Structure 1
Amino acid sequence: MNAISLQDRSFLARRRADRLLSGGRPQTVREALAALAALSDGPYPLDEPTDMYGNRIVRTLERRTADLLGKPDAAWFPTGTMGQQAALKVWADTHGPAVAMHPLAHTEVHERRAHQVLSGLHSVPQTAAPRQPTVAELAGLDEPFDVLMLELPLRDAGFVLPSWEELTALYDFAADRGVPVHLDGARLWESAPHLGRSLPEICARAGSVYVSFYKSLGGHSGAVVAGDEEFVRRIKLWRHRYGGKLWQQWPAVLSALAGLDTELPRLPDYVAHAKVVAAALAEAPGAWINPAPPHTHQFQLWLPHPAERLAEAGLRQAEEQGVSLFGGWREPGPQPGVAMTEVAVTAAALEWTPKEITEAMAGFLALL
């Protein structure tokens, strides 16, 4: 008999757990299909023909997203990586190929440097600090740049956002130099509470904005890039060139529309409760929360234990006690034996009180 893989063991443990703190319960294909079918009674254009190469229900999502972000138009992409490629390529064509981005930006770290390999772009590091750049740092760069990219929030720094005043200063700096701003807003949806402004206000001075539908909204996949009409016309050309003009995309698009209806309105509650969850977790011996308090509904939890031991303890707690607190652990820092997990506060976490969290955390650490 073949031993069950660690991935399958984790899937089964989280599915069977009575309570989850971080993230949602994983689904089977059958369950995901049933959830999609349940949308048949929703306010969606289900009686029109299926989409062909980006029309119909795809355009419905594009227009709705553009309205939510306060932009004239938007284009759907099957992946955010492709969407960002298209957006930055268009800016390179009109302004130049040098893009100022953070060394921890998703484009730099998680996309195999596609912007350089495929699109011939050149990244200019904004700052070495694990936070959003400052105007002084951008002004002091030795190398000129043609486009300013801001990842809001900066995931690998701990889902970190600037203040509204800091963001405004960055917009002012770019405008003074005639440099367009592109927002990597994969998780922009949950950024409004910290910034204290609406999504249209946050995006108003950005030339282009990318948002994701599966990271925080629970969609199957996909992304949208928004901007003015001419910009969107041009990124659609690059979407086709990059292989993103697909025959039919209605399942992913339908799940994205549902996420806008169900998850987007709940994100402020998640963000507020993330502060409660983080404060309770911080009481554990050696625990470190980054940032403290969280800027969004996601944050980093660090513990002075090896990732492998923490992962095994989490699996045991889920299997033996029916409680799943965290997802995966890794050791991204310079010090061995110090591990980090990303905590995502969603619907399941709203049921947890601080006392329950501290008790469950004590049970988790007891399994090390």
Structure 2
Amino acid sequence: MAETVEQDSRELVESVEEQRKQRFERRKAAYRSARRVLARSSFLGTLRERLALLETAEELYDLDETADLYGNGIVEALEAKVAGLLGTEAAAFFPTGTMAQQVALRCWAGRTGNPTVALHPLAHPEVHERHAFTQVSGLRPVRLSSEPRLPTAAEIRDFEEPFGALMLELPLRDAGFVLPSWEELTEVVQAARERDAVVHFDGARLWESTVHFGRPLHEIAGLADSVYVSFYKSLNGFGGAALAGPRTLIEEAKTWRHRYGGQVFQQFPTVLSALAGLERELPRLPDYVRHARVVAAALREGFAAAGVPWARVQPEEPHTNEFQVWLPYDADTVAEAAVLQAEETGTLLFGRAWDAPGPGLAVAEIDVRAAGLEWTAEDVKAAVAEFVSRLP
């Protein structure tokens, strides 16, 4: 009897997983055929579409220059450009942000003599990197506030044990792409300094933060001792990241980059895509952030008008061009409604996956980019009504 129940349970799980895989394939197909989306995400593009990013690469860099070898040439040009944008002495290109941040914090641990890194439990290394800090780099993460926001200055000052580095993810993605106020951020940094800790910014999406803070990039980055930025999350590059900070730190980081396997033979396609993002996408991000606020308000009004008993946009006014929508439905139910809407109307309102943070709850991320600028508030409300009509 027990074996039969176990087999039935296993078959049910496998059936649900197969349905989700099929829905993902349908969502990809719907995205590709949709006439209207809020963002054309690079990760669902074809190889041909992605390579088109380099069709006018001669506008970005002298293509008659010799290709890079192990980090010279065009790689050094990108590093210099990033250092200039962030106002730091130097920068180093890395194949991944995971590697860049491990190297940065390992270097700081050697300098402070303390391998403890204080961070939020929703920060990327704690949620998405399989405990890489402890398993690979010998670092010891300790968790600050569990609230869905960045830690406060009081929480930094009152933390019960010493730490060598404070890591702040700006914005904190898994809490809804949230940022502190400028005053709160400066107070947090000062509190860490009072404890003789260095401050490192996980700025994967720092490019998107200037509207919220009302400050230029170099002033934001200038609060920290080191900063990591991504070239694909906000800028649509092929991949890659940069670590920026004092020249001595960056020189040491390049040594560890080699040891970690990041001394790649040639990287010019990825670097060219990063230069394209800095040239073409970075100047448009403030427009995306401002329009995301229009979209978020229209989503709230649309769900209220459609009679959904409870719906939430997190944060209520987006801090960046990305935010969350929470609905009181099973995640599979809303995922199916989103795909059906796209298949039947050509409008894909929710292009990203729906997760289930708890029973009867569903949450999805919203990303507003160039395609989303074409949507008016009324367009969003109409799309919400269409979506809700497909819910049970």
User: Which of 319, 328, 353 is the aligned partner of 1:304?
Assistant: 328
Once the two structures are superposed, the pairs formed by residues 135-284 of structure 1 within 5 Å of their partners are 135-283=153-301, 284=303
Q: Is the 8 A contact 2:60 2:276 kept in 1?
A: no
Where 2:106 maps in the other structure, the secondary structure is helix
1:293-328 C-alpha deviation (Å, 9 max, x unpaired): 011111000111111111111111111110011123
Counterpart Cα distance in 1 of 2:105 and 2:97: 12
Take 2:181 and 2:98, find their aligned partners in 1: how far apart are those partners? 26
Is the contact between residue 156 and residue 192 of structure 2 (CA under 8 Å) also seen in structure 1?
Answer: no
**CA-CA distance at 1:157 after TM superposition:** 0.6
Is the 1:187–1:211 contact (alpha carbons within 8 Å) kept by the matching residues of 2? yes
How far apart are the structure 2 equivalents of 1:346 and 1:47?
A: 33
One-letter amino acid of the counterpart of residue 297, structure 2: A
Amino acid corresponding to residue 302 of structure 1 in structure 2: W
Q: SS at the partner of 1:76?
A: strand
Aligned twin of 1:318: 342
- 2-structure distance, mates of 1:339, 1:10: 17
1:23 Cα offset (Å): 4.5
Q: Which has the larger share of helix? A: 2
| 1:78 partner amino acid | P
Shift of 1:273: 0.5
Q: CA deviation at 1:45?
A: 2.5
Alignment match, 2:364? 341
State the identity %.
Answer: 54
Amino acid paired to 1:354: A
1:19 to 36, 40, 44: 36
C-alpha displacement of 1:134 = 0.6
Q: Output the CA distance in 2 between the equivalents of 1:147 and 1:133.
A: 14
Q: Check conservation: 1:311, 1:328, Cα contact below 8 A.
A: no
Match of 1:122 among 140, 144, 151: 140
Corresponding residue number in structure 1 for 2:52: 34
C-alpha distance in structure 2 between counterparts of 1:30 and 1:329, whole Å = 24
Per-residue CA deviation, residues 208-257 of structure 1 (Å, 9 max, x unaligned), is 10000100101010000001110000111111111000001111110000
Q: Distance in 2 between matches of 1:49 and 1:222?
A: 21
* Residues 22, 325 of structure 1: 8 Å contact kept: no
Q: Please, what TM-score do these two structures have when normalized by structure 2? A: 0.90
Tell me, yes or no, if structure 1 residue 133 matches structure 2 residue 151. Answer: yes
Distance in structure 2 (CA, Å) of the matches to 1:41 and 1:207: 35
* Residues 135 and 40 (structure 1), Cα distance of their counterparts in 2 relative to 1, 3 Å cut: closer
- 2:109 is matched with 92
Task: Give, in angstroms, the shift of residue 332 of structure 1.
Answer: 4.4
Q: Are the structure 2 counterparts of residues 40 and 140 from structure 1 closer, same or farther at C-alpha, using a change threshold of 3 Å?
A: closer
Aligned-CA RMSD value: 1.6
Amino acid at match of 2:204: A
Gaps of 5+ in 1: none
Match of 2:26 among 9, 20, 24: 9
Distance 1:163 1:40 in 2: 38
TM-score of the aligned structures, taking structure 1 as reference length: 0.96
Number of residue pairs matched by the alignment: 365
Q: Kindly provide the CA deviation profile for residues 340-367 of structure 1, in whole angstroms up to 9, marking residues without a partner as x.
A: 0000110010000011100111101111
